[in-house]
Amino acid sequence: MITVDLSGRRALVTGASGGLGRAMAVTLAQAGAQIAVHYRKGQAEAETVVKTITGQGGKAQAFAADLSDPAAVNTLMQQASAALGGIDILVNNAGLDGQRAPVGEDDPAHWQKVLAVDLLGPYYCARTVLPHMIKAGRGVIINITSVHEFIPWEGYSAYTSAKAGLSMFTKTLAQETADKAIRVVAVAPGAIQTPINEDVWNDPNSLKDLDDKISMGRLGTPTEIASVVAFLASDLASYITGTTIAVDGGMLIYPEFRHGG
């Protein structure tokens, strides 16, 4: 039987207090990894994730940090590494989509904030953990992008730019580290049913409009993303690096063209 086995691995999941991050943290723990649960706000939610993991027999601890601050990221890595005995797996999941506004009507400060969290945050985390992975002779960095690294999204130019940038960062970092036994991969979720988009899937009209954009005709679940992340973090994916795995129910194959152009 082939199983995803992360026994003995230590994983840091950013933005793990809820949504996709929570599912990733719990799933990686179920595969055997020890987990550093990062959060920016919501300590109570992060501690709930820790309790869920420890209640299932795993090991986890919560850590707070502002990922847009390189000094805070450095402290986070030191604390998490000390608590777990190292970091073998880094999942850069934390992010925000920002306020919807077309270019010219937007606030540059909001644009910069999205890039600071969605692009600079993963960069700070990766460059901080990388020397430790190189010294250990192994490591996996998984960057959570979005289908919007490929698909434009009116009013969200900062988000789409950050995710496209994170995709190219993934490829470049993979190129730089492939000969050091470190893999760097991106996962691009499609429309996933999480609390952040509850207003969409709770409205029948909005939900139908969204489902029509997905070839499989439904939203994905956080566990469906987390399962792919666990696979990519494992040795089962030992020959995968420098690419984006889309987990989107077929959104990127444009179902509106199913019956002709």
Domains and CATH numbers, the chain: 10-249 (3.40.50.720)
Nearest Cα residue to 103 out of 93, 114, 95, 94: 114
Judged by DSSP in three states, 239 sits in coil
Question: Pick the catalytic residue: 39, 156, 159, 239?
Answer: 159
Handedness of CA 247, 253, 255, 258 (dihedral sign): negative
For the chain, helix (H) and strand (E) counts, in that order, are: 9, 7
Q: How far apart are CA 22 and CA 254, in angstroms?
A: 29
pLDDT value of position 37: 98
Element (H, E) at 13: strand 10-13
pLDDT value of position 223: 97
pLDDT value of position 261: 65
pLDDT in tens, the chain (261 residues): 899 999 999 999 999 999 999 999 999 999 999 999 999 999 999 999 999 999 999 999 999 999 999 999 999 999 999 999 999 999 999 999 999 999 999 999 999 999 999 999 999 999 999 999 999 999 999 999 999 999 999 999 999 999 999 999 999 999 999 999 999 999 999 999 887 676 666 777 777 877 788 999 899 999 999 999 999 999 999 999 999 999 999 999 999 888 776
Is 124 an annotated catalytic residue? no
pLDDT value of position 256: 84
Length of the chain: 261
pLDDT value of position 201: 65
pLDDT value of position 193: 87
pLDDT value of position 78: 97
Is pTM beyond 0.85? Reply is yes
Q: How far apart are CA 218 and CA 224, in angstroms?
A: 13
In which order are the strands placed within the sheet that holds 182-189? Answer: 60-64, 34-39, 10-13, 89-92, 139-144, 182-189, 244-247
pLDDT value of position 195: 73
Judged by DSSP in three states, 10 sits in strand
Axis crossing angle, helix 108-115 with helix 157-177, rounded to the nearest 10 = 30
pLDDT value of position 1: 84
